[in-house]
Structure formats: structure tokens, C-alpha cells
Chain A
């Protein structure tokens, strides 16, 4: 298990890459944006980008807004 932070919450994960993390969390939004340690990851990097101890993730999606 790897200790990480997701949207400010401490979590343990078995995922080794970002795609794995998203499916572990059960996220199904059609558009999802990931920031890892403050840097934006483009979608094509989700599968290759690793998840390692201490990483901080921000997961962002589209919501209703004016």
C-alpha cells in the first residue's frame, strides 16, 4: 500500500499509476483532470504516470456552473 493525498485527504492505495488510482476510486466522470504534486497531467499520461509514496493528487471535474 502507498500513502498519498487525494483532494486534501490522506489515503492508502494499491494503484501504481494514475489510471489505476482513478478506477480504484470508482471515478466515472467523462472529463477528469488530474494534478500531481501541483503539475497538470494531460490525459495521455494517466496510464504511464506513477503513483508513489507521498504524492499529492488533485482530481477535478466539470460541475454545474454559471
Chain B
């Protein structure tokens, strides 16, 4: 099946993106990413820890094999997010940015106003912008109008594993979007990834669920299968649901 995900003119086989945070070791991270089949891998930008100058966990990731997608995590407003995006490019990464503006430490919810502001600036600077956003269809339109290359509505709060609690809004966003929709945050199980794909998402992003699983590599495989299952089901065109029983066996020809 030649069913590819295209973002900003670039085409991918995999519809599962993975994050690199919180893995117990670099080896586990590398193996889980490999097993997930992901081609887009997110990374964060942080100060070098001068007491551990030789720590280079990400040397395990081959930039020739994966698209490294830096995020702007830690940014509390548009100015900080724009600074991080520019830093990523200065480091030699491609000008693709997962825009995250999360001023509230308790919820890590994206700030819609600052996210839009940062998106407008970064698009003008030539970045391919993938914004992490509240599952708000009006904001989705505004971001798309600003020229973002995708929309990344949250399923539930980051790291919670609660699944797609925003399904009604995600369905509207999917229905109206002309750029890919990537459900990001809160996916804890492969069934959540499948659900997001069944709703019509173009891709999903997962990090914590893999990193904190007892066996991250096996969980990565499960998420790959879940994402694929949901995608194939969406393309297969699910039948209508009903609150009434509808017999699947004939209601005639019973034995006397």
C-alpha cells in the first residue's frame, strides 16, 4: 500500500513519530525508536551540563536515518520559543520545529495566544512549523492560516497516558484541516494511537508511553501496529454505528 504521510512536501512511510525523553538508557531509546519504525524523532534543546560535558545521549540517533525534529519545550512565551527555534537551526538542524509554548508547569498546556504569535514569526522566517496546540478547531484554523505545516492537537495532558480525551474536537480539526493533523500528548496505549488514527488523524506522536513501559522496545512495536491498524481501518471506511441490535446471522430458516 502506497499510503504516505506528506508534511511540507516531504514524504514519510511511518505515521508514528516518537520522542526521545525519559528512556532509562541510550541503548533502549535507540532500540525502541528502531522498532517503532518512526522516521521523525523529536528532541529538546537544553543547556549543556558542565559537570557532564561528555554526555551525548543523542549520538545514538543517526541523523541520516531520521528527521530530527527539535521542540521548543521549556519556552514560556513566543519570544523564548522563537529563540529556541533559531538556536536549533544554528546547530545545523533542518529548519523544522515542533513549536511548544507551555507556561504552566502544572498542566503543560499550550498557550494558544503565544503559540499563534510564535508560529507567525517562525513561518515568516522560513521554518516548517508543527505546533503543539490545544484541541481547539478555531485555533487550528488560525494556525493553518498563519502557514503552519501541520497541527498537533493534544489527546490529553502530556505524559498522562489518558488517551484521546479530545476526540470530538480532534474530529472537527481533522475534518476542516488541509494540513496533516498529528495527535500528540497523552497517548498511553496502542489502542489510543489506533483511536486517533481511526478518527482521521494523519499521524500520532508518542514518547512517555514507550519510555516508561517495562519493555520499551516491545511497546514501540505495539504502537507501530496500533498506529497502522487505526490508519488501515480509517481507509477501510468503518460502517455506521447503531444503538439497536442488528443481527449478523439470518433471522430466517430456524430449525423447528
Chain B residues contacting A40 (CB-CB under 8 Å) are 86-87, 90
A31 CA to B57 CA, complexed, in Å: 11
User: A32 to chain B: closest CB distance in Å?
Assistant: 7
- CB-CB under 8 A for A27 and B48, given A43-B92, A64-B19: yes
A62 CA to B159 CA, complexed, in Å: 20
In the bound complex, do residue A66 and residue B19 qualify as a contact, i.e. CB atoms below 8 Å apart? yes
A8 CA to B19 CA, complexed, in Å: 28
In the bound complex, do residue B43 and residue A63 qualify as a contact, i.e. CB atoms below 8 Å apart? yes
In the bound complex, do residue A63 and residue B86 qualify as a contact, i.e. CB atoms below 8 Å apart? no
Which of the four size classes fits the interface of chain B? 35 or more
Q: Mark B205-234, 1 if CB is under 8 A from A, else 0.
A: 101100000000000000000000000000
In the bound complex, do residue B48 and residue A61 qualify as a contact, i.e. CB atoms below 8 Å apart? yes
In the bound complex, do residue B44 and residue A63 qualify as a contact, i.e. CB atoms below 8 Å apart? yes
In the bound complex, do residue A33 and residue B47 qualify as a contact, i.e. CB atoms below 8 Å apart? no
Listed in ascending order, the chain A residues whose CB lies under 8 Å from chain B are 6-7, 9, 25-33, 35, 40-43, 58-66
Chain B residues contacting A33 (CB-CB under 8 Å) are 45, 87-88, 90-91
Chain B residues contacting A6 (CB-CB under 8 Å) are 50
User: A3 to chain B: closest CB distance in Å?
Assistant: 16
User: B86 to chain A: closest CB distance in Å?
Assistant: 6
- CB-CB under 8 A for A62 and B58, given A32-B91, A33-B91, A43-B92: yes
In the bound complex, do residue B21 and residue A66 qualify as a contact, i.e. CB atoms below 8 Å apart? yes
In the bound complex, do residue B207 and residue A31 qualify as a contact, i.e. CB atoms below 8 Å apart? no
Which residue in B42, B53, B58 is a CB contact (below 8 Å) of A66?
A: B42
Chain B residues contacting A28 (CB-CB under 8 Å) are 53-54, 56
- Is B70 interfacial (CB 8 A cutoff)? yes
- Is B73 interfacial (CB 8 A cutoff)? yes
